[in-house]
């Protein structure tokens, strides 16, 4: 089983987001593996342990993402590829992944259902379409039986269970696997695992971010006496106009 | 240039979010000049009504194999309709199907995709839209290059009002590819009768403060009074007190109802990530220091077990 896990390098979920003009202010922000990608990686490592094979991680990013890639190696990936480019937009990233995947050939291409920075949720579908493969998103359970994958995904108000032949692409989310924290041995061996840097195929971004804005702060919360709920109902009706 | 809008139905009726998408598409068509073509692949009784929301005509695909809603096949249908109608923009309201299909349509139809769009586009810098980023912590203004654009829009960003008109329905046949049905659906487990959370206009949500699954009756009662869906925080679904598909937040479902009532939820940043775009937020928590009060419009400091039944009684007098 040859598995590719695509990871992004994003601010920690608790980070306070600020901008310098049209750039994220990175001061004091800790970067991590995309939280959904982390689930994809954890499942890939579990599948490798069960079925044999290898796990390669791929990140489209500049040199500053290498500590994040090493963390993925410490969690259990065997080797890594960094496509040396700023991840401009979903299509640009998807094209880099598809180019690499076409060259190598994988049974499974896993990633998170979306990145927690741009929240595009597009890359899995684009990679699948570029490679002519099926894609499941959000993939919440994944079992492999021979050359068939059995998966569960969330749909509105319920769940759907599906199967399809490998190879395939999946955009993962919890509870697909238990999150893995690197142990000391993993951290030591990660230092010596191969991390190949390749140059991107030239492509312009189709979507350009020109500026950022923070959401307007909610007007101060109006406190209502717990013994006067008629007052709340009146406000919901007359002021907020939501009932 | 015209706009194609993809509409979804549930239980034989067009979804409210799809009606919003038609109204949105009408505004985009107004901006770029052109008409609105709606495409439906689900069975629906009220397709002609789409005219009253702004559609000039409706294409209907009748294909039994689409009943299981195969993403790749529906993406093929959308791309072929866009090609045949010669539109320059596709609008779809976000859903589990649309989120999965949009990127495939983007590649098939060679278009630029902006997902999670939160406002109408403008012609600033060409064609620009606002979209939610950093899991609800910010908005980005993005310019879409290229002639063809796809927008997946968030819910509740524009009201859908019916003006009494109707649209003609035309059958539309699709040339499906061999791989469009590669994924076989084995089983669908759907909750019957409940208001679907991602679609809900009002949501009553509860957290670990409720102590156990046996206490959810009062949350369901309050939701019923309001015609709301129920939701929960992540630990609640991790503990199996409630099903996973009710969990809202960064790693769960993102909702943007007009009214979100949070009971016994602390308001951690990851929870807020899924609910902060709600129009009005009411927080009930016994801890006056609970962080959720900072993001709420109305707050009640009190014990949920006392406040919730009283709130239900107060609401019953007016709704
Ligand atoms: C990567 C990551 C992703 C995450 N994703 C999500 C997510 O998607 N969604 C999510 O919800 N969380 C998520 N979390 C977890 C999140 O950080 C919080 O732990 C979680 O939201 C807390 O849930 P809670 O408020 O129900 O429970 P608690 O933090 O235990 O808070 C319970 C609250 O109930 C109040 N309370 C107790 N008893 C009563 C009573 N009788 N009446 C009234 N109030 C009472 C307490 O004062 C407290 O404020 C994520 C965490 C991480 C690290």
Task: Tell me what ipTM this predicted complex has.
Answer: 0.94
Model pLDDT for residues A163-222, shown as the tens digit of each residue: 999 999 999 998 899 889 999 999 999 999 999 999 999 888 899 999 999 988 877 899
Q: Do B197 and A157 touch (CB under 8 A)?
A: yes
Helix (H), strand (E) at residue A69: helix A66-75
For chain B, percent of residues with pLDDT exceeding 70: 99
Model pLDDT for residues B107-132, shown as the tens digit of each residue: 999 999 999 999 999 998 899 999 99
Residue range B142-148: mean pLDDT, rounded = 96
User: Cα of B220 to ligand 1 centre, how many Å?
Assistant: 19
A85 pairs with which residues across the strands? none
Best mutation target among A37, A236, A238, A241 (most B Cβ atoms within 10 Å) is A236
Predicted pLDDT of residue A96 = 98
Q: Taking 70 as the threshold, does the pLDDT of residue B176 lie above it?
A: yes
CB B229 within 8 A of CB B195: yes
Residue range B223-246: mean pLDDT, rounded = 94
Q: Do B137 and A17 touch (CB under 8 A)?
A: yes
- Count CA within 13 A, CB hemisphere, residue A224: 22
Partners of residue B99 in chain A, C-beta under 8 Å = 121, 137
For chain B, percent of residues with pLDDT exceeding 90: 87
Model pLDDT for residues B210-219, shown as the tens digit of each residue: 999 999 999 9
Closest residue by Cα to atom 4, ligand 1, is B270
Structure tokens at B266: 């602390």
CB B51 within 8 A of CB B70: no
Give the E-state strand segments of B119-225 in sequence order.
Answer: 128-133, 138-144, 149-153, 168-171, 184-190, 202-206
Predicted pLDDT of residue A106 = 98
Does ligand 1 lie within 6 Å of residue B238's CB atom? no
Residue from A38, A86, A73, A80 nearest A57 by CA: A80
DSSP state of B176: -
Dihedral of alpha carbons B84, B85, B90, B91, sign: negative
Residue range B154-170: mean pLDDT, rounded = 92
Q: Taking 90 as the threshold, does the pLDDT of residue B1 lie above it?
A: no
C-alpha to C-alpha distance for A44 and B121, rounded to whole angstroms: 40
For chain A, percent of residues with pLDDT exceeding 90: 88
Lowest-confidence segment of A68-72, A207-211, B150-154, B196-200 by average pLDDT: B196-200
pTM of the model: 0.92
CB B80 within 8 A of CB B174: yes
Predicted pLDDT of residue B192 = 65
From the number of C-beta atoms within 10 Å of its C-beta (0-12, 13-18, 19+), residue A91 rates as buried
User: Mean pLDDT for chain B?
Assistant: 95
Structure tokens at B293: 């009060």
Q: Do A119 and B132 touch (CB under 8 A)?
A: yes
Best mutation target among B95, B133, B263, B275 (most A Cβ atoms within 10 Å) is B133
Q: What is the DSSP string of B108-122?
A: HTT-EEEEEE-S--B
C-alpha to C-alpha distance for B218 and B226, rounded to whole angstroms: 13
C-alpha to C-alpha distance for B129 and B121, rounded to whole angstroms: 5
DSSP H helices in B86-139: 96-108
Residue range A92-114: mean pLDDT, rounded = 98
C-alpha to C-alpha distance for B225 and B195, rounded to whole angstroms: 13
C-alpha to C-alpha distance for A149 and A165, rounded to whole angstroms: 6
In chain A, whose CA is at the least distance from the CA of B296?
A: A221
CB A208 within 8 A of CB B145: yes
- Ligand 1: which of B137, B207, B300 to mutate, judged by most atoms within 8 Å of the beta carbon? B207
Q: Do A226 and B269 touch (CB under 8 A)?
A: no
At A118, the pLDDT band (50, 70, 90 cuts) reads very high
């Amino acid at each position: 089983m040859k598995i590719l896990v695509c990871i992004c390098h994003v601010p920690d979920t608790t980070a306070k987001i600020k901008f310098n003009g049209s750039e994220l202010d990175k001061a004091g922000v800790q970067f991590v593996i995309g939280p959904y990608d982390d689930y994809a990686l954890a499942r890939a490592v579990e599948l490798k342990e069960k079925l044999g094979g290898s796990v390669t991680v791929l990140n489209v990013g500049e040199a500053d993402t290498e500590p994040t890639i090493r963390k993925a190696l410490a969690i259990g990936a065997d080797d890594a590829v960094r496509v040396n480019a700023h991840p401009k937009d979903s299509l640009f990233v998807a094209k880099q992944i598809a180019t690499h995947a076409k060259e190598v050939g994988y049974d499974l291409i896993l990633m998170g259902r979306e990145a927690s920075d741009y929240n595009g949720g597009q890359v899995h579908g684009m990679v699948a379409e570029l490679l002519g493969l099926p894609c499941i998103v959000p993939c919440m359970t994944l079992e492999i039986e021979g050359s068939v994958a059995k998966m569960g995904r969330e749909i509105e108000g319920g769940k759907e269970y599906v199967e399809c032949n490998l190879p395939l692409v999946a955009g993962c989310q919890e509870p697909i696997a238990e999150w893995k924290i690197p142990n000391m041995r993993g951290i030591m061996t990660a230092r010596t695992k191969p991390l190949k840097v390749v140059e991107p195929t030239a492509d312009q971004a189709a979507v350009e971010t020109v500026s950022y804005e923070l959401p307007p702060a909610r007007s101060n919360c109006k406190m209502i006496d717990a013994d006067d709920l008629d007052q709340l109902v009146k406000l919901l009706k007359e002021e907020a106009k939501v009932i | 240039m015209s706009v194609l809008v993809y509409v979804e139905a549930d239980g034989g009726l067009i979804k409210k979010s799809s009606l919003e998408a038609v109204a949105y598409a009408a505004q985009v068509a107004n901006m770029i000049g052109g008409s609105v073509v709606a495409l439906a692949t689900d069975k629906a009784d009220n397709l002609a009504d789409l005219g009253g929301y702004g559609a000039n005509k409706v294409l209907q695909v009748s294909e039994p194999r689409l009943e299981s809603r195969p993403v790749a096949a529906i993406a093929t249908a959308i791309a072929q309709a866009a090609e045949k109608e010669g539109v320059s923009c596709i609008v779809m309201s976000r859903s589990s199907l649309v989120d999965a299909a949009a990127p495939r349509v983007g590649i098939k139809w060679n278009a630029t995709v902006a997902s999670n769009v939160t406002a109408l586009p403008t012609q600033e810098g060409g064609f620009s839209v606002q979209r939610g980023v950093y899991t609800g912590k910010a908005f980005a203004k993005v310019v879409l290059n290229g002639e063809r654009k796809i927008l997946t829009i968030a819910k509740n960003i524009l009201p859908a009002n019916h003006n009494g008109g109707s649209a003609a329905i035309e059958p539309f046949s699709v040339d499906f590819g061999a791989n469009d049905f590669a994924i076989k659906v084995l089983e669908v487990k759907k909750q019957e009768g409940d208001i679907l959370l991602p679609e809900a206009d009002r949501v009553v949500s509860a957290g670990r403060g409720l102590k156990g699954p046996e206490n959810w009756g009062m949350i369901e009662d309050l939701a019923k009074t309001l015609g709301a869906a129920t939701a929960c925080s992540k630990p609640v679904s991790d503990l199996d007190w409630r099903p996973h598909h009710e969990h809202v937040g960064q790693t769960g479902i993102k909702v943007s109802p007009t009214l979100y009532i949070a009971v016994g939820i602390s308001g951690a940043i990851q929870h807020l990530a899924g609910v902060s775009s709600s129009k009005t937020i009411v927080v009930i928590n016994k801890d006056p220091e609970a962080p959720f009060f900072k993001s709420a419009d109305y707050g009640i400091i009190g014990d949920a077990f006392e406040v919730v039944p009283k709130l239900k009684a107060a609401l019953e007098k007016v709704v």
